[in-house]
Chain A
Amino acid sequence: MSDANLFAQQAANRRRSFWLVAGFLTLFAWVGFGGDYALYLLTAAGPRGAYHHVVPFIGLLTTTLAAGICAYAWKTGPRRVLLAAGAWEIVAPATPAQKQLDNVVEEMAIAAGLPKPTVWVVPDPDLNAFATGHDPMHASVAVTQGLLDTLDRDELQGVVAHEMSHIQNDDVKLMTLLAGMLGAVALLSDTMGRYLRSGGRVGVPSRGGRGGGKGGNSLGALLLVLWVFTLLIAPVVTRLLAMAVSRKREFLADATAAQFTRNPGALARALEKLDASAVGTRSITQGAAHLCIVDPAERKISDREGFLGDVFASHPPIRMRIARLRGMAFQEMKREGQSLPA
């Protein structure tokens, strides 16, 4: 990839990260202050001496919480993603396979012109890989034990090159932030939802209901409905966002990997093997699915083209990715004047 193109990619990812954090803070502020406003309207008509919700402490609390979550997701994100998957770091390679992985990562770091990322293994029999980190200088690559056992050297190189290109593009920053936030939003939605269901209606007395018909109260009720709706839909929206971001990045990472290794056919073969392993990667939760080279849940939706796949899949259809890589490999062979293998 040319330098200008690379810088454009990195700048775009920085921009995306900024909007992600801004959107996240806005969501939490809305959840907090919206709730405050609804409570204010609902309690405003109450009699003297009853509870009047004046200080917007819910909003202050959720916004501070959101800022805290962002900082936390940023600071501990990479490590938490790795630990959640149960990965362990290869410090001193013990087996030939580990040595080979370590070597391949070093080679790809040279090809990308970056310092070598730390190398991790996820003890899972399925085939998958992901990268995480703060920036291209401080990153980690993790592959599953199944991948290590199944792929040959060239295929492993293709997969590591794919991850290396996520690191070089600064995809990892965005993706890791998203992973941290996905977890936080799910937690928020769960807690608030449980709180609402358990009838914890702070200071919304039934008396308020009798005083209905006043403009303030029906607006308050509407706001409350909207607010609850936001809480219910927030996790879905964040997940869709994570998937949308991830889907676009996969084709680019495949193409850059082909440039690093000059061997697109090997990555195509690796993807075929990854596709063929029908079991899901159990060690990797949905919260980190968008980080992986293939969808760890092995959901059918990821195979679909068209609108449904565009909205709900975290990865583009793997067959389409393989077809493109094969196309590159074919062009290369044609240029070198080789004949096609049967």
Chain B
Amino acid sequence: MFIPFLVVLIGVALWMVSVYNGLIGLRNQAQNAWTQIDVQLKRRHDLIPNLVNTVKGAMEYERGTMEAVIAARAKAMGAQGVKATAEAEGQLTQTLGKLVALMENYPDLKASTNVLQLQEELTSTENRIGFARQQYNDSATSYNTRQQQFPANLVAGMAGATPADLWVIADGAERAVPAVDLSLRLPGA
């Protein structure tokens, strides 16, 4: 009578330990992914003064746009937490996009190697932020799913697990995941 009870108790305890550790592992993954985003955001914030300084002479008439970029950058640098950061960085993306679009009107700028280099760096940084965000959202989603599933949710409170915020994109300009078809046939065949 006593021994089966003990076996069940030990089984439950082992299961709780494994779920607990699994949750901690997932949380650390999500945190690590967030650090990756942070690295890329810092890169972006460092690039912007460079860009503005380079184009400011040629783009006298776009002073308003440039000031908007600087202001958005300052706001983004001060943002704390996923939601506020996502919003502020989204603002920065928009104003920066406007500035880059306006640069198209200045053929002299487009011919300068300095500007071309900066544009390549900017493109790469935007891509890196995008891919890092994908990674973060993926790992945050698996963390959230795990802690909400039954019966793991019973242990979630003990592990101090709370749902991680996802980085949600405000505008619909982002590219969607393409559907992947691995069957060995031609599409439409």
Contact = CB atoms under 8 A, between A and B. Distances in A.
A103 B124 contact: yes
Interface stretch (B14-22, B49-57, B162-170, B179-187): B179-187
A113 interface: yes
B186 A262 contact: no
Nearest to B173: A336
A328 B127 contact: no
A303 to B, nearest CB: 15
Contacts of B182: 251-252, 255
A182 B178 CA distance: 37
A328 B128 contact: no
Interface string A299-342: 00000000000000000000010011011111110011000000
Interface residues of A, number: 36
Given A103-B124, A106-B128, A110-B36, A332 B187 contact: no
A111 B180 contact: no
B142 interface: yes
A30 B182 CA distance: 38
A106 B124 contact: yes
B188 interface: yes
A123 to B, nearest CB: 23
A90 to B, nearest CB: 15
Given A323-B186, A323-B187, A336-B176, A99 B181 contact: no
A103 B120 contact: yes
A332 B178 contact: yes
Looking at chain B's contact residues, is the secondary structure mostly helix, strand, loop, or mixed? Answer: helix
Contacts of B127: 103, 107, 157
Contacts of A329: 178
Contacts of B36: 110
A290 B33 CA distance: 34
A31 B79 CA distance: 69
A259 interface: yes
A332 B174 CA distance: 12
A153 interface: yes
Contact of B142 (A3, A104, A336): A3
B176 A328 contact: no
A324 B124 contact: no
B175 A263 contact: yes
Interface of B: 33, 36, 40, 113, 116-117, 120-121, 123-124, 127-128, 131-132, 134-135, 142, 175-182, 184, 186-188
Q: Which 4 A-B pairs have the closest CB atoms?
A: A327-B187, A103-B124, A111-B131, A262-B175
Interface of A: 3, 96, 99-100, 103-104, 106-108, 110-111, 113, 153, 157, 251-252, 255-256, 258-260, 262-264, 320, 323-324, 326-332, 335-336
Given A262-B176, A328-B180, A330-B187, 16 more contacts: A99-B120, A103-B123, A106-B124, A107-B124, A107-B127, A108-B131, A255-B182, A263-B175, A320-B186, A323-B187, A324-B186, A327-B188, A328-B187, A329-B178, A331-B178, A332-B176
